[in-house]
Amino acid sequence: MTIILSAAGFWLKTGAHTGFSKNRVEMEKVDPITQIEYVDYEERFIMGVEYLAVGCVAGVGLFGLSFFFGRTRS
């Protein structure tokens, strides 16, 4: 459960992007002299939904695997 909550928390913290991960973010800016709008890119990581899915699959997989290595009864 901790792995799933950690993955969801990190996904929410980095922007909760519902597409694939991004390394650059588009920033629309306006040239102060000509007043022309242009797109500039900022180097920033936004975690996509594939990392969230991997975190959830890992959490569920480890939870299922824990049933095979349970305590031994004496």
Chain segment 32-67, per-residue pLDDT in tens: 999 999 999 999 888 889 999 999 999 999 999 988
| SS3 per-residue string spanning the chain | CHHHHHHHHHHHHCCCCCCCCEEEEEEEEECCCCCCEEEEEEEEEECCHHHHHHHHHHHHHHHHHHCCCCCCCC
Residues of the chain above pLDDT 90, percent:
51
Decide if pLDDT at 70 tops 80. no
Q: What is the pTM of this model?
A: 0.68
